[in-house]
Amino acid sequence: MRAVVQRVSQAQVVVENDVVGQIGRGFVVLLGVAQGDTAADVSTMADKLVGLRVFDDAEGKMNLALADVGGAMLLVSQFTLLGDCRKGRRPSYVEAAPPELAEALYELVVAEVRKRGIEVATGRFRKHMDVTLTNDGPVTLLIDTRRVF
């Protein structure tokens, strides 16, 4: 499971001209589900996202997590994060999980983050989405439950 996490001051996702998810301060998380991902990856990802300490404390040090600042999460499925661009010019998506599995695991991540007390807004699985955000910092992180960068 792979995620791109951006610390934001605000974000929203629009599907077919309707705002379907919107947050203020928090994270935009673009989430890709890979072949072979399991419930263990879901738990690892949820723990990592909720526990990330990338918000400034009183001394200006990145030391606070989402719950500490009353932040929310906009969680958007994005299979293209599993694109392999090493050969040729067209990415290969063979590492991406099939849509049925990917959707189920994506929904489990949403549920697990909510269980940990964080407000979660979402996009729409397998829909074209317009995601807008204001990256705060900018702070952008990569998380992969099974690989080391």
Establish if 121 belongs to a structural domain.
Answer: yes
Reply yes or no on whether 35 is catalytic: no
DSSP alpha helices (H): ranges in 4-149?
Answer: 39-51, 66-69, 99-115
Asked if 78 is an active-site residue, the reply is: yes
113, part of any domain: yes
d(CA 4, CA 2): 7
pLDDT at 140 over 90: yes
124: exposed, middle or buried (Cβ count in 10 Å: 0-12, 13-18, 19+): middle
Name the pLDDT band for 148 (thresholds 50, 70, 90). Answer: low
Active-site position among 6, 27, 44, 78 = 78
**CATH for 100:** 3.50.80.10
**140 catalytic per annotation:** no
- Residue 63 is given by DSSP the state E
What is d(CA 109, CA 57) in angstroms, rounded to the nearest whole number? 27
45 close to 109: Cβ distance less than 8 angstroms: yes
What are the structure tokens assigned to 131, written together?
A: 């995601």
Question: Is the N-terminal amide bond of 138 cis, ω within 30° of 0?
Answer: yes
- pLDDT per residue as tens digits for the range 53-96: 999 999 999 999 999 999 999 999 999 999 999 999 999 999 99
Whether 149 is covered by a domain: the verdict is no
Catalytic residue selected from 80, 132, 134, 140: 80
> Residue 140: which domain range?
2-144
- Counting the structural domains of the chain, the total is 1
Q: Is residue 100 part of a domain?
A: yes
